[in-house]
Amino acid sequence: MIKGKQRVIEADRFYEADSGESTETTSLSPSITAYVFENGRRYNSKYNDGYYAFPNDEKENSRMQLVHHVYNSLFAGRLYFAPLRAPKRVLDIGTGTGNWAIDMADTYRDTAIIGTDISPIQPSWSPPNLKFEIDDAESEWNFANGSFDYVHFRHLIGSIADWPRMIKQSYDALKPGGWIEGQECYFYPTSDDSSLPENSAFKRWHDLLTEASIKSNRRLLTAAKIKGWFVDAGFVDVVETVIRLPNGAWPRDPRMKEIGAYQMSALLDGLDAISLSLFTRILGWKTEDVSSFLTAVKVDLRNKRIHSYYPVHVIYGRKPR
């Protein structure tokens, strides 16, 4: 109880200009917690409207914490790549379980950070300079122009219908000279040694997911386009770095081998979460057929002779002064 009270009191230092109460004291609308249950998984209340196709239950939330660890390891502990200089206000779009926002708030104690998401799955207590808000990044934003020094997003693939619109709203929400950064996986496997067979279940899984994401208008293969969207929105000094994320413990380098092992675990744990909605709702598969197919995908994932990886795109740019 003491920590909870302290959070509200301390948060006032950072958010006294904001309207409304803190997320800790504001009750949630019943529509937000009116979850949809399907195939043994829990989804956001907007699931039936064709929004976010992936679960928001405890199993998936635990997996997303593992995904955060994978990215943190892949980036060697770096939370961002943009050349930030003591940002005063930061926005984390699609914060999910809030891991990145919490780490950022712990690192920058004098920075006010807001994490937004469509699901109230964030922890009940967090650093005093961090506030979570339930908001839809695809709707009209309520932030005033020039509100933030830095806008961050990660792992939004497959959940955004109109990327240019979201990026334009980010541009408007940034102060002149502020930075935007996206950290997104190009969710299609490749290999440098032709060890990923064209007829493998793992590759076919991605082909089917890609097809379903196109039909649902929330494409998975968007990471390589973000740099161009940044430029089109008006950002300058745009920089893109592509980092390889191994899908198994096949690399010789000990660090990358460990990262690959964690990544494989995150994929194995997430096959159902990633597949069920898109396969059954969009492609018309039966649940039992999905389960049978995913068994073959798991075999490929565990095959150490397949040296596949995902390209992870880190893109940042600056709003002109």
Tell me, what's the pLDDT at 51?
64
Average pLDDT for 209-218: 95
pTM: 0.88
> From the DSSP assignment, how many helices (H) and strands (E) are in the chain?
8, 9
What are 178-201's pLDDT values in tens digits? 999 999 999 999 999 999 999 999
What is the phi/psi pair of residue 242, to 5°? -115, 125
Tell me, what's the pLDDT at 34?
72
Cα–Cα distance, 129 to 146 (Å, whole number): 19
Among 25-29, 147-151, 253-257, 307-311, which is the least confidently predicted range? 25-29
**Looking at the predicted structure, is the pLDDT value of residue 318 above 80?**
yes
Of 32, 9, 30, the residue nearest 21 (C-alpha): 9
Residues 6+ apart with CB under 8 A from 44: 35, 36, 51, 52, 56, 118, 119
Evaluate whether 97 touches 58 at the Cβ level (below 8 Å): no
What are 75-127's pLDDT values in tens digits? 999 999 999 999 999 999 999 999 999 999 999 999 999 999 999 989 988 99
What is the phi/psi pair of residue 298, to 5°? -60, -40
Tell me, what's the pLDDT at 304?
93
Going from N- to C-terminal start, the domains of the chain cover: 37-319
The H or E element spanning position 37 is: strand 36-38
The CATH code for residues 37-319 is: 3.40.50.150
Tell me, what's the pLDDT at 9?
25
**Looking at the predicted structure, is the pLDDT value of residue 46 above 60?**
yes
Of 119, 186, 130, 133, the residue nearest 155 (C-alpha): 186
Instruction: Give me the residues paired with residue 36 across strands.
Output: 43
**Looking at the predicted structure, is the pLDDT value of residue 209 above 80?**
yes
Nearest 5 degrees, angle CA 219-CA 318-CA 167? Answer: 25
DSSP state of 145: T
Of 121, 138, 134, 140, the residue nearest 49 (C-alpha): 138
Tell me, what's the pLDDT at 44?
84
Tokens representing residue 227 in the block: 């740099």
**What Cα–Cα distance (Å) separates residue 155 from each residue in 37, 71, 166, 167, 313?**
23, 10, 14, 15, 11
Tell me, what's the pLDDT at 113?
97
Average pLDDT taken over every residue of the chain: 89
The residue whose two tokens read 């950070």 is 113
Instruction: Give me the residues paired with residue 54 across strands.
Output: none
What is the phi/psi pair of residue 26, to 5°? -95, 125
